Amino acid sequence: MVEKSKLWYLENFNLFNNLDKNRMMELNKIISDREINGNEPIYFANEPSKTIYFLKTGRVKITKYLADGSEKIIAIINPGEIFGEMAYLDEGQRTDYAVTVEPSMICAINKNDLADFIEKNPELNLKLTKILGLKLRSFSERIEDLIFKDADQRIASFILRYSEKNGKKVGGQIFVKPFLKHQNIGELTACSRQTVNYFLTDLRNKGIINFDRSKLIINKIEEIKKIVS
C-alpha cells in the first residue's frame, strides 16, 4: 500500500507524469521519501549540493539569512514542485536553506541517480529544462518588480502570480488555498508586514478580495491587474 501511494505521488509530479509503469517502478527504486514535521530543516546553506527534492504534501520555504541574523524567504514550495534543483546543475555547495512550513512529505533523489535516469529517458531532459526555465523566469519577474514597481504594485503582482499557480476558479471567483502569512508575503515582496496588512485590508474593504488565515478569495481579479499596470 505504501509503494502504491508513493507511485501515485510520483506520477503527479510534472517531470514524471508521462512515464510508463515499468519506468515508474525503476524510478521508485532510486527515490526515498520521508515525513517531516513543521519548522524542520531539510537542507542547510554551505552543505554539499547532492540531492534534488520533490514535495508531495505540505509546504516548504526556501530562505537565506542576512548578516544581522534575520531570515528572508525567497520562495515558497507547494506540493508537486521541485526544489534544491541547483544540485543537478552545480557541483558546489548550497547557498540557501530549505525548511518545512508545516508537516510535509518529500521525495529525495541523488543528483547522479537522477542524471543516470534521465540519460535512459532523454525526454525528461527537455521537461526538466522547461521546469527550471519557468522557475528562473519567476525569479526574474520578482527582480523586475523590486526594481520598477512600488509596494502596492509588488504585492498585487505577487497575488496574481500566487493565484495563477495555486488558485482554483469557481464561478467568477478565484479561491487560493493555502494562503500565506502577511509576514511571509512581505518578505517575498520586500514590504513590511504592516504594509501588506494595510494593502490587503484595503482591497477587502473595496470588495476586491476576501481572506483569512487559511485562504484568499479573489472577487475582482481585473482590479488587481489594474494596480499592477
- DSSP state string for 153-221: HHHHHHHHHHHHHHEEEETTEEEE-S---HHHHHHHHT--HHHHHHHHHHHHHTTSEEE-SS-EEES-H
In the predicted model, residues of the chain with pLDDT beneath 50 are 1-2, 4
Cα gap 108→110, rounded to integer Å: 7
Q: Does 123 share its domain with 35? A: yes
Cβ proximity of 226 and 112 under 8 Å: no
Instruction: Note the pLDDT of residue 175.
Output: 96
Whether the model pTM is above 0.75: yes
Q: Does 138 share its domain with 153? A: no
Q: Does 24 share its domain with 83? A: yes
Cα gap 152→170, rounded to integer Å: 26
**Where among 144, 176, 204 does a domain terminate?**
144
Instruction: Note the pLDDT of residue 2.
Output: 42
Cα gap 29→63, rounded to integer Å: 30
Instruction: Note the pLDDT of residue 91.
Output: 73
CATH number at residue 198: 1.10.10.10
Sign of CA dihedral 178, 181, 182, 188: negative
CATH number at residue 61: 2.60.120.10
Q: Does 133 share its domain with 169? A: no
Q: Does 213 share its domain with 139? A: no
Torsion angles phi and psi, residue 46, rounded to 5: 75, 0
**Where among 77, 112, 144 does a domain terminate?**
144
Q: How many domains does the chain have?
A: 2
Cβ proximity of 170 and 147 under 8 Å: no
Sign of CA dihedral 162, 151, 137, 53: negative
Q: Does 195 share its domain with 140? A: no
Q: Does 36 share its domain with 63? A: yes
Q: Does 86 share its domain with 21? A: yes
Say how far residue 156 (Cα) sits from the centre of its chain: 18
25 has which bridge partners? none
Q: Does 140 share its domain with 41? A: yes
**Where among 98, 120, 144 does a domain terminate?**
144
Q: Does 35 share its domain with 140? A: yes
Omega of the bond prior to 178 within 30 degrees of 0, cis?
A: yes
Instruction: Note the pLDDT of residue 138.
Output: 84
- Find the domain containing 139 and state its range: 2-144
Instruction: Note the pLDDT of residue 4.
Output: 46
Q: What digits encode the pLDDT tens for the residues 3-29?
A: 545 555 565 677 888 888 888 889 889
Q: Does 94 share its domain with 172? A: no
Q: Does 40 share its domain with 136? A: yes
